[in-house]
């Protein structure tokens, strides 16, 4: 069935039903149900260590163009994305860790599948049908990315179905204090067009809130290559949601025109990042049109390597984050520094459960949450 979501500036139509399925593809499915590419992607698997006594598996997806994407069944984490530069040399553009020791804590949420609620909920509190639910506070005064043990820190069931990696997880009623048992499926597929399409669906046994995303950190020069000041960004949005001092939206949906948030034309990140009010660069939600249809959201380019990344999604928003708080030792001992990566996180707006004018994140037992997000990699 389909329902109409709450809207302010942006109208949003959400498709819902009764369970949670998260699907990640590297191919776009059209309305007629057919994939845009048939992909001969090869998927292999190997052990990535253990977590709480259980084996963690790393799956490697490789297409005929030599693109390689590696994904864990722990947290649905994308650990590696190897794509060619303009000279045909592959480089890993995804930040992460070398082993499970790093991912077991994973403070930055490198590459992770985030849920039940991506981004922030003010004071960790929301109300459904007159009942208030109190979540753990794990980010200043707020709840962030699903709680202390969100979907990013769970071991998912996994299987390979043809050229698709499928992950499933059942989130128990009351897990992290969220109501309802939620069932999730995630599928990852790699095409010859070097598209990573992330397709989500979700159902629940009781009314709950849901907001799912992937938290990959990208540096198109290669992970550990310093700041992203030499990257150019375009975000195809007229509106954004201003935030307070704790990064909670004020409730306004504002024009980007004439502000540091106006990235509608290609903009060098290094030239504008220090002009963003607040002093921490970009960590803001951009507003798009209706939910349920695939929209061109963003493009990031790295002129020196020739690499670009484009993003498309059925979600009403995207969080553009330029990693001000990054300070980690990553893969191969690389030093990940402030402004050393960017994230493009497809999402509903932060704190939507407490903002009735935002697109709704409420999911009922008769409904199904659906999302498709595509990352396309290429060379200019």
In the chain, what's the furthest Cα-to-Cα distance?
59
Active site residue 215: yes
Residue 283 annotated as binding?
yes
What is the Cα–Cα distance from 106 to 112, expressed in whole angstroms? 9
CA–CA separation, 311 vs 346, rounded Å? 9
Task: Examine the residue annotation and report whether 18 is marked as an active-site residue of this protein.
Answer: no
Residues constituting the chain:
380
CA distance 190 to 68: 9
For residue 217, say whether it is annotated as part of any ligand binding site: yes
Q: Has 215 been labeled as part of a binding site?
A: yes
* Integer CA distances (angstroms), 85 to 57, 92, 94, 377, 378, in order: 28, 10, 14, 10, 8
Through-space distance between the first and last CA atoms of the chain, rounded to whole angstroms = 41
Tokens 């069932």 sit on residue: 183
- Residue 168 contacts by C-beta under 8 Å, 6 or more apart in sequence? 21, 156, 157, 158, 183, 184, 185, 186
Q: Which tokens hold the place of 370? A: 């659906």
- Cα(29)–Cα(313) distance, integer angstroms: 12
**188 annotated as ligand-binding:** no
CB atoms within 10 A of CB 209: 22
CB atoms within 10 A of CB 101: 9
Distance, CA of 221 to CA of 228 (rounded, Å): 8
- Angle, alpha carbons 308-313-314 (nearest 5°): 170
Burial 234-267 (b: 16+ CB within 10 A, else e): bbbbbbbbebeeebbbebebeebeeebbbbeeeb
Q: Is position 216 annotated in a ligand binding site?
A: yes
Catalytic residue among 166, 176, 315, 345: 345
CA dist 98 and 28 (Å) reads 30
The active-site residue out of 215, 231, 284, 302 is 215
Q: Active-site residues: which are they?
A: 215, 345
Which residues belong to the annotated binding site for beta-D-galactose?
Answer: 119-120, 215-217, 283
What residues form the annotated binding site?
Answer: 119-120, 215-217, 283
């Amino acid at each position: 069935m389909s329902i109409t979501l709450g809207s302010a500036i942006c109208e949003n139509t959400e498709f819902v039903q009764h369970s949670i399925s998260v699907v990640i593809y590297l191919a776009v499915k059209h309305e007629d149900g057919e994939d845009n590419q048939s992909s001969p992607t090869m998927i292999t698997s190997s052990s990535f260590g253990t977590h709480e006594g259980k084996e963690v598996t790393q799956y490697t997806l490789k297409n005929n163009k030599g693109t390689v994407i590696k994904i864990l069944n722990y947290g649905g984490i994308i650990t590696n994305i190897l794509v060619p530069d303009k000279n045909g040399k592959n480089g890993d553009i995804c930040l992460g860790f070398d082993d499970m020791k790093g991912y077991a804590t994973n403070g930055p949420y490198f590459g992770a599948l985030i849920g039940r609620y991506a981004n922030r909920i003010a004071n960790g509190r929301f109300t459904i049908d007159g009942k208030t639910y109190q979540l753990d506070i794990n980010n200043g005064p707020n709840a962030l990315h699903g709680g202390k043990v969100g979907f990013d820190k769970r071991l998912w069931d996994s299987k390979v179905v043809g050229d698709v990696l499928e992950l499933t997880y059942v989130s128990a009623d009351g897990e992290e204090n969220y109501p309802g048992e939620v069932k999730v499926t995630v599928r990852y597929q790699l095409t010859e067009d070097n598209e990573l399409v992330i397709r989500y669906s979700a159902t629940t046994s009781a009314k709950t809130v849901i907001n799912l995303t992937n938290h990959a950190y990208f540096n198109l020069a290669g992970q550990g290559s310093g700041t992203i000041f030499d990257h150019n960004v375009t975000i195809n949005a007229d509106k954004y949601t201003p935030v307070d001092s704790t990064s909670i939206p004020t409730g306004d949906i504002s024009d980007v025109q004439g502000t540091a948030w106006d990235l509608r034309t290609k903009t060098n990140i290094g030239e504008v990042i220090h002009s963003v009010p607040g002093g921490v660069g970009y960590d803001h939600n951009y507003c798009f049109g209706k939910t349920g249809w695939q929209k061109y959201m963003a493009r990031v380019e790295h002129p020196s390597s020739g690499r670009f990344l484009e993003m498309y999604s059925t979600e009403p928003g995207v969080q553009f984050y330029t990693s001000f708080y990054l300070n980690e030792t990553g893969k191969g001992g690389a030093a990940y520094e402030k402004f050393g990566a960017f994230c493009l996180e497809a999402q509903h707006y932060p704190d939507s459960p407490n903002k009735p004018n935002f697109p709704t994140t409420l999911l009922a037992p008769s409904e199904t949450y659906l999302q498709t997000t595509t990352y396309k990699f290429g060379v200019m």
